[in-house]
Amino acid sequence: GTGSAAAVPINADFDIAYVTPVTLGTPPQTLQLDFDSGSSDLWVFSSHLPTSQIRGQQIYAPNKSSTAKLLDGHSWSITYGDGSGSRGNVYTDNVTVGGLTVGSQAIECAQQVSSSFTTEDHIDGLVGLGFSTLNTVSPKSQLTFFDNAKSNLDSPVFTADLKYKQAGTYDFGFIDEAKYTGEITYVPVNSDPGYWTFPSSGYAVGSGNFTASSISGIADTGTSLVYLPTAIVTAYYRQVQGATNSRSYGGYVFPCASTLPTFTFGVGAARFTIPAAYLNYAPVTPGSATCFGGLQSSSGVGINIWGDVALKAAFVVFNGGNPPTIGWAAK
C-alpha cells in the first residue's frame, strides 16, 4: 500500500512547524499532528488531559472509539530538545494517514503536557518517524507508524516534500517522480543514535567556494531551523551586515532589511542551495526590525540538525530498508 498526506505550515508568516491530518479510531477522530523524524513516539492530546492544559487543540478520546484497546500497565514520558515534554498512558487503535491504515498502532495519550504544548494550539500531538529504538513507552517500547506500516508498503520508504510558506506532502511507500528533478543522491544512515543521521560533504556561503568537510547531522522534520558547527555559522554571518550572536535572543540575529547570502550544502557529489529568504527566519518579536537567522550554531544543541529550513530546499527520501539510507534530490 501507499499513503500521501499534506504537510501544512502551522503559522502563516513563518514555517515554525508543519502538521498533517491523521485519523484515529472508530468512528474516525481527526487530529493535526506534527510528523517528526527526530523522535519516535506517536502521542496526542487526549480526553485524559486536565482541561486547563487544553487550549483549542483537538483531542483523541479512546473511550469513544470501538476499536481502542488500553495497553494495560504501560506509560510514556518524553522531553524534547527545546525543553518541552509530555507524558501519559497508552492505547492501541487504527491510525490512518493519507489513505494508509495501520491497525493496532500504539497511540500515546497525554495526561500531562508542558506549557509550550498548551500554548501551541495548532499542534494536537506528534507522529514520531525516528527509529523505534527511541520510543519511550515502558515497560515494552512500541513501534512507530512507519515501522508498523513498512511490511504493507510497496517500498519501505517515506518522503518529505516540505515547502516554504505553503503546504507540501509526506508520502509513504513510494517515490513520486513528479516531486523532484534530476537524480536522487543516497548516502548511508547511522541509525544507532535513533535518528536519521547522515554525512554531509561540505558547504558554501553565497557564491563563495565550496568547502569540502564531512559533517554528521540528523535530518529532522520536527526542528524548524538548521543547527551546524560554529565555524560554519560564523563564516555565514560574517557575510551579513549587522549580524550579531545575541545572548538575549539565543542565537544569531541581524537587521531584517539585511541582504542574506544563500547557503549551499553537499550530500555526496550533489549540492543543495537554501535560498536567502528561508534563512531570514522571523522577526525576534512581531514587528521587530531585528530578525532571527534560520541557520544557528549547534554548539548549544550537541548535535548538528538539518531541520525544516534545509529540508524544504530539497525532496528527501527516508529509506527504511536494510540498511537504511537517505536520499536528497533537487526540486
Ligand X SMILES: CC(C)(C)S(=O)(=O)N[C@@H](Cc1ccccc1)C(=O)N[C@@H](Cc1c[nH]c[nH+]1)C(=O)N[C@@H](CC1CCCCC1)C(O)(O)C(F)(F)C(=O)NCCN1CCOCC1
Residues lying near ligand X in the complex (CB under 6 A) are found at 16-17, 34, 36, 38-39, 78, 80-82, 84, 116, 120, 134, 136, 220, 222-225, 301
Distance, in Å, from the CA atom of 236 to the CA atom of 204, rounded to the nearest integer, reads 9
Question: Per the residue annotation, which of 41, 147, 220, 308 is the catalytic one?
Answer: 220
Please say if 220 is a catalytic residue. yes
CB of 20 to ligand X, least distance (A): 13
Q: Which three cell numbers stand for residue 182?
A: 534530476
Instruction: Note whether 264 and 279 are within 8 A (CB).
Output: no
**3-state DSSP assignment of residue 328:** strand
For ligand X, give the closer residue by CB, 172 or 306: 306
Q: Which is nearer to ligand X, 124 or 171 (CB)?
A: 124
Of 204 and 243, which CB lies nearer to ligand X in the complex structure? Answer: 243
36, 124, 171, 308: the catalytic one is 36
What is the smallest separation between the CB atom of 136 and ligand X, expressed in angstroms?
5
C-beta of 80 vs 210, nearer to ligand X: 80
Minimum CB separation from ligand X for residue 154, in Å? 27
Q: How far apart are the first and last CA of the chain?
A: 25
Say whether 93 is catalytic: no
Q: How far is the CB of 9 from ligand X (least distance, A)?
A: 10
Nearer Cβ to ligand X, position 16 or 167?
Answer: 16
Asked if residues 161 and 179 have their Cβ atoms less than 8 Å apart, the reply is yes
| Min dist. Cβ of residue 269 to ligand X (A) | 28
Radius of gyration (Cα) for the chain, nearest Å? 20
CB-wise, 119 or 207, nearer to ligand X? 119
Output the smallest distance, CB 210 to ligand X, in A.
Answer: 27
Report whether 59 contacts 245 (CB < 8 A).
no
**CB nearer to ligand X: pick between 173 and 222:** 222
Cα separations (Å) of 59 from 71, 122, 135?
19, 12, 21
Helix (H) or strand (E) holding 33: strand 29-36
Find out whether 105 and 40 touch, Cβ atoms under 8 Å.
Answer: no
Question: Which grid coordinates belong to 27?
Answer: 468512528
Q: How far is the CB of 79 from ligand X (least distance, A)?
A: 7
Active site residues: 36, 220
